[in-house]
Amino acid sequence: MSFRATLSQVLLAVATVSAKWIVPGARWRDTEGNFVNAHAGGVTVDHETGKFWWFGEYKIEGQEEGGGVSVYSSEDLATWEHHGMALEPIKGHPYISPEHIIQRPKVVYSRGASKYHMWWHADNSTYGWLLQGLAQSDNIIGPYSFVGATSPLGNWSQDFGLFADYKDGRSYAMYSNGDRREGRDVYLTSYNENITNLTEVVHRFDKYDLEAPTIIQTEQSYFAFMSHKTGYRPNNVVAFRADSLSGPWSQPFIVAPLNTRTFNSQSGFSLRINGTEKTTYLYLGDQACAHWDSNSLWESRYIWLPIEIDEDKKSLEVVWHDIYDLNVKTGEWKPIEGETYYGKDATTQGDAYKQEAVRTNDGIILTNIYGNASTVTFNNITGTGKPQWVSFYYQNTDDMGFGDQPGGSPNRFGGTWQLRRIASVVVNDDVENIETLYQRDTHKGIILSTPLLLNLEEGKNTITIGGLHNELDVKSADIDRIVVFPPEG
């Protein structure tokens, strides 16, 4: 490792310790500089302190099952302190050994029992049990001790969600009852007072065959979010609306711009911030794995975005912002404005070129970017000498295995649904410090963005985008523009 790499890592760590902004799709680091590792989980607000506690699946490279549940805390939803494992797998245990599935954990406070209860989807590695697990702890931080794994009212339970109604104080489980023909429903079922068992089915979302459920509660409405079932590939998440949990529920509708596949994310949790000035609703989605397979779940990222709700139209939308600043006390948030640099002003090297493309700026996009010789360079970028977020807006038209191409059959990439577009990003020709930019599939004519934290020098900079320089010869996605944000703080 060169001195420069070490220095940039130090700068990165310093930059994230004081993070106050939420940057969807970035690599989030905790206060020690490690990646936040809490997938498909939930955030619990501590009833005493108002602090946020994030519980999620802990994943290491190549692993789908058995990682246990990690826990992080935050005052602001942006700065996260790691507290280790809240639920540790136990070798040889009948339900929580490293071979078992411990998915979608949620924690809720049981007033009656004066304990914190963790519930999750408990299963064996082939999803043959479809149970719900319960563990408890006297403290929110854990460790949680295993209580049992049961089938909810005799039924199956796959993707698990937990909803606490702020009006009546009751808690509810949401679960899809699996993929079998007799299943394919999502249940909304009330807990008993101590949140130790389920009491009755409040509503069944019948045969929609959806998963990853969560509910957002407003003054007037309940909105139930769920995703379609496409494995670890994202899809267009839908919501249903109702005045009461028992329904009647509306028809489902897609919550984000069409064909963005909910900005390449899956629902699973949502949060209501009851601020002093404003109530803000957040969609807490998971951006499934970077390579779209179960071996890289550990690399999946978090897409947390504000939800804009229109009670008159009985509708809502999850809205994209590259970066936003959220004040959890007042509930107010604002997008951070950056400076945009367009593809038309970039220079191309080697075989890279500018191609006509709809829905881009100026109708052109930068394409055929590969290796370290066929590259594109954005010039004259004003930097501050401090780490700055830069969003790369791209189009990836591969559509691997999303139903837009023959599933599994050989296409020009061999019919797999692996991520095929990965770029290298180099600032000021400093090839000692190459950043890797994952560019998930978008759709034809859909432009999405991924952010990187870059060290720009004070004054003018260049940013050069190439392919991934390795034997796979992976191309970059096509680049529309980049947006450079001011340094934080």
Ligand X SMILES: *[C@@H]1O[C@H](CO)[C@@H](O)[C@H](O)[C@H]1NC(C)=O
Residues that bind ligand X (CB under 6 A): 112-113, 124-126, 128-129, 153-155, 166, 177, 182, 185, 193-194, 197, 199, 201, 274, 276, 371-372, 379-380, 431, 469
Among residues 43 and 400, whose Cβ is nearest to ligand X? 43
Task: Report helix, strand or coil for 102.
Answer: strand
| Shortest spacing between CB 29 and ligand X, in angstroms | 26
Give the CA distances from residue 239 to residues 218, 236, 253, 315, 461, in Å, rounded to whole numbers and listed in that order: 14, 10, 5, 9, 44
Instruction: Please identify, using beta-carbon distances, which residue of 192 and 295 lies nearer to ligand X.
Output: 192
Kindly state the tokens that stand for 355: 């191609």
Q: Which stretches within 360-465 are classed as H helix? A: none
Q: How far is the CB of 91 from ligand X (least distance, A)?
A: 16
CB of 56 or CB of 467, closer to ligand X:
467
Is the CB of 131 or the CB of 238 nearer to ligand X?
Answer: 131
Instruction: Report in angstroms how near the CB of residue 347 gets to ligand X at its nearest.
Output: 6
- Closer by beta carbon to ligand X, 49 or else 274: 274
Q: Whole-number minimum distance, CB 379 to ligand X, in Å?
A: 4
For the chain, percent helix, then strand, then coil, each to nearest 5? 5, 45, 50
The two tokens of residue 316 are 């809502």
Q: For the beta carbon of residue 483, count every other beta carbon within 10 angstroms.
A: 19
Q: What are the backbone dihedrals phi and psi of residue 295, each rounded to the nearest 5 degrees, phi first?
A: -80, -15
Minimal distance, residue 330 CB to ligand X, in Å:
9
- Minimum Å gap between C-beta 139 and ligand X is 16
Q: Measured from the CB of residue 202, what is the shortest distance to ligand X in angstroms? A: 11
168 exposure class (CB count in 10 Å sphere: 0-12, 13-18, 19+): exposed
Q: Between residues 12 and 153, which has the closer beta carbon with respect to ligand X?
A: 153
Smallest separation (angstroms) from ligand X to the CB of 167:
7
Closest CA to 324 of 280, 266, 359: 280
Taking each continuous run of H as one helix and of E as one strand, the counts in the chain are 2, 34
Return the beta strands (E) in 211-312 as ranges.
Answer: 211-217, 222-227, 238-242, 253-254, 266-274, 279-287, 301-310
Query: 60-63 long-range contacts, Cβ below 8 Å, gap at least 24?
Result: 60/298, 61/295, 61/296, 61/298, 61/299, 62/295, 62/296, 62/298, 63/295, 63/297, 63/298
Closer to ligand X by Cβ: residue 32 or 432: 432
Sign of CA dihedral 259, 264, 269, 275: negative
Candidates 417, 435, 437, 427; CA nearest to 478 is 437
In the complex with ligand X, the residue whose CB is nearer, 208 or 253, is 208
| Residue 450: partners with Cβ closer than 8 Å, 6 or more residues away | 25, 26, 391, 392, 394, 437, 438, 439, 440
> Which residue number has the CB closest to ligand X?
128
**What are residue 455's DSSP bridge partners?**
387
Identify which of residues 246 and 380 has a Cβ nearer to ligand X in the complex: 380
Query: Coil, strand or helix: which one is 361?
Result: helix
User: Which of 129, 253 has the CB closer to ligand X?
Assistant: 129
